[in-house]
Amino acid sequence: MTQSLIAEIFEPLQSMRLIDPHTHINPLQAASSTLADILGYHYYTELAHSAGMPKVRIEEPGISPKEKVGRLVPWLATIENTAQYSWLLEMCQVFFDFKDDRITEANWESLYDYSLKKMQAADWEQTVLERTGLDQVYLTNDFDDPLIGFDTRKYVPCLRTDELVFHLTQPVVRERLQKATGVNPGNSGSLKRAIGILFDHFKKHGVRACAISLPPDFSPTMITATAADGVVAKVFSGLELTTDELSVLSRFVFWSLAEFCVEHRLPFDLMIGVNRRVYEDGVFQGLDLFDNRVSLIQYKALFNAFPQVVFPVSVLSETSNQELVSYSWIFPNVVTCGHWWYSNIPVYIERDTRARLQAVPQTKQIGYYSDMYKLEFALPKFAMYRRILAKVLAEDFVAGRRWSVAKAVSLGKNVLRGNVEAIFGKYE
């Protein structure tokens, strides 16, 4: 009974076209060129390294994509239990007609060669978009991205602001800011002017969100212009900041971003909880972890000060989900957003989904984003989410609360796509 009910709900969700509201896609090279683009995803290199593969095996300069894949393949046996591996298998099966249920030292080379031919087709990117049913892909753009050379209605710009908030101490970041804006900030006012120029530029190119990832100990508060002036002057003179000054600078820039979100009517994506560079010798992009000792109470001042700004909030630790549910239940401007990174595995997605559907208004839930670097990943990741969503809808709503299948599917569709359109703006 339940299995067929889940299937009945899954089918219409699975056939829906999608908007992916958070990715790391490079719109100038959105799809993979070789299997190395897929297996090079940090989820695989991290797990292979964690299982024993020396980092230098895959980060050795000059190795070809095929060589890199060949070096990773022997380690796949150690991670085939993982959800991440199941995505890999699904991609190979769907996109590259792979028939086996394991990628091994015996079969990888033919897979590599066959997939290469597929990916070399001129319309490969379009093929992936169509097969996946992707209408829009939201990006993560550096603040100085020129945003040209691609269709911003398909690949939607989002202004990523980690560097502005946390890395103005790096000369190269300050130089990029000055180059992008023509402003050489000497105080809080000119720094805000520079940031405003970035927002104007992004707004002109159809930006849909401002976005940032935040460490567990960050707690935003308002910093007055006067309090910020000295620190801004100091950092832009190239002087080193104390820890306290750094904190003033970060909070000043962060608060300014929220102000620009008011002005430009932009949602502000908060991705809360990551500690950077925890494993110093990790593979590329595989250094970061988290600390579950974080609370949304740290954002009390922010949520109160900016009722006009919608904050789609992602949390890294599953122990933060109940707070996210409760803050979204109380604050009109807080909405739940996806299942981020270390929480993006079925056991946590299912429980988070259940709690959100039980206690957050259905209009305030952005169900899922892929976080992908290459287009091929949207398909298996969204499929994983849709299977879980169908299961929760079947068990909790149709079986548990006697909803009709149609009503449950309608709820699923809103969470999966409708809310993305409503919250980030209508698809044009």
- By CB under 8 A, the residues from 407 to 426 that bind its own copies are 411
Q: What's the one-letter identity of residue 427?
A: Y
DSSP symbol at 187: S
Residue 267 contacts its own copies per CB under 8 A = no
**Interaction of residue 182 with its own copies, rule CB under 8 A:** no
Measured from the CB atom, the residue of 152 and 320 that comes closer to its own copies is: 320
360 binds its own copies, rule: CB under 8 A: yes
C-alpha span between 254 and 231 (Å, rounded): 14
Give the binding range for its own copies (CB under 8 A) out of 26-34, 130-138, 265-273, 316-324: 316-324
The verdict on 71 binding its own copies (CB under 8 A) reads no
Measured from the CB of residue 428, what is the shortest distance to its own copies in angstroms? 23
Strands of 310-425, DSSP E? 311-315, 334-337, 365-366
Q: Indicate the residue type of 148.
A: I
Return the residues of window 46-65 that contact its own copies according to CB under 8 A: 46-47, 49-52
Q: Is 259 in the site for its own copies (CB under 8 A)?
A: no
Cα(128)–Cα(18) distance, integer angstroms = 13
Selected binder of its own copies within 166, 199, 252, 327 (CB under 8 A): 327
Q: What are phi and psi of 404, to 5 degrees?
A: -75, 155
In 263-344 the beta strands, taken as DSSP E runs, fall at 268-272, 274-275, 289-290, 311-315, 334-337
Closer of 84 and 181 to its own copies (Cβ)? 84
Query: Does 78 participate in binding its own copies (rule CB under 8 A)?
Result: yes
Asked if 161 and 214 touch (Cβ cutoff 8 Å), the reply is no
- Does 106 bind its own copies (CB under 8 A)? Our answer is no
Considering only residues 285 to 314 of the shown chain, the ones binding its own copies according to CB under 8 A are: 286-297, 300, 303-304, 307
Binding its own copies (rule: CB under 8 A), the pick from 112, 236, 382, 397 is 397
Q: Which H or E run contains 135?
A: strand 134-138
Instruction: Pick from 152, 328, 336, 370 the residue near its own copies by CB under 8 A.
Output: 328
Question: Six-digit token pair at 185?
Answer: 């900030």
With CB under 8 A as the contact rule, the residue among 110, 184, 308, 363 that binds its own copies is 363
For residue 18, which phi and psi values (nearest 5 degrees)? -120, 155
Q: How far is CA 88 from CA 37, 50, 133, 284, 380, in A?
A: 12, 18, 19, 19, 8
Note whether 157 binds its own copies by CB under 8 A. Answer: no
Query: Could you say whether residue 401 binds its own copies (CB under 8 A)?
Result: yes
Judged by CB under 8 A, does residue 278 bind its own copies? Answer: yes
